[in-house]
Amino acid sequence: PSQTEIKIQWESVIRATAYDIEVNGNLIEDINGSSYVHKGLQPLTDHTYRVRAKNAGGISDWSSSIKMKTLPYPPAEPTNVTAQPTKTSVTLNWDAVEGADGYEIEIDGMIIENGANISYIHDGLAPYSGHTYRIRAKNLGGKGPWSNKLDVTTHPEEPETPTNIMTTADQNSITLTWYNV
């Protein structure tokens, strides 16, 4: 199925010249072939089908009914995507997307699955390293659009402690000096 149509198929019956199909209680007669495409449907709607064969000698009993559901539309783009870097990690957060079953995250060009979680911690990173992220939601109907890219740089290492601190004083001031680190 798709969001707007469902294709029903059945095995051909020996000696059948045509088929009738019952679609949601409505009879459609004289189908040639062993498939039918039900079009013009709405997403996430249930539909019931059954089929019978016929020829000049008569009509068979109805098949068992089958129930099928159209797919939902793919979810929207994730919003409020934020990134909080530390020295060795980046934590991503975003708002849940209505109708989403899960999320994918693109990290520096590589796509990973994130299940239904609306946060992700990218760790084991080098200090002061740059990374690019974007997120998309998905469901049975497909994958939604990517969020805008976030370019994030992890924090640098702490500076070293200044050494060789020296002071000089005169009657109006005190001057501190040290070696650059």
For the cut 80, the answer to whether the pLDDT of residue 178 exceeds it is no
Distance CA 36, CA 6 (A): 8
- DSSP-assigned letters across all residues of 38-99: E-SPPTT-EEEEEEEEEETTEEPPPPPPEEEEPPPPPP----S-EEEE-SSEEEEE-PPPTT
Distance CA 121, CA 165 (A): 41
Question: In this structure, how many other beta carbons lie within 10 angstroms of the beta carbon of residue 150?
Answer: 15
What angle (nearest 5°) sits at the alpha carbon of residue 82, between those of residues 76 and 86? 150
Instruction: Please tell me the predicted confidence (pLDDT) of residue 39.
Output: 97
What does the pLDDT average to over 53-64? 96
- pLDDT tier at 181, thresholds 50, 70, 90: low
**Helix, coil or strand: residue 12:** coil
pLDDT tens digit sequence for 135-151 = 999 999 999 999 999 99
Tokens of 20: 């009738």
Domains of the chain and any CATH numbers: 6-69 (2.60.40.10), 72-181 (2.60.40.10)
Instruction: Please tell me the predicted confidence (pLDDT) of residue 81.
Output: 98
For the cut 80, the answer to whether the pLDDT of residue 180 exceeds it is no
Instruction: Please tell me the predicted confidence (pLDDT) of residue 164.
Output: 82
Tokens of 152: 């994030």
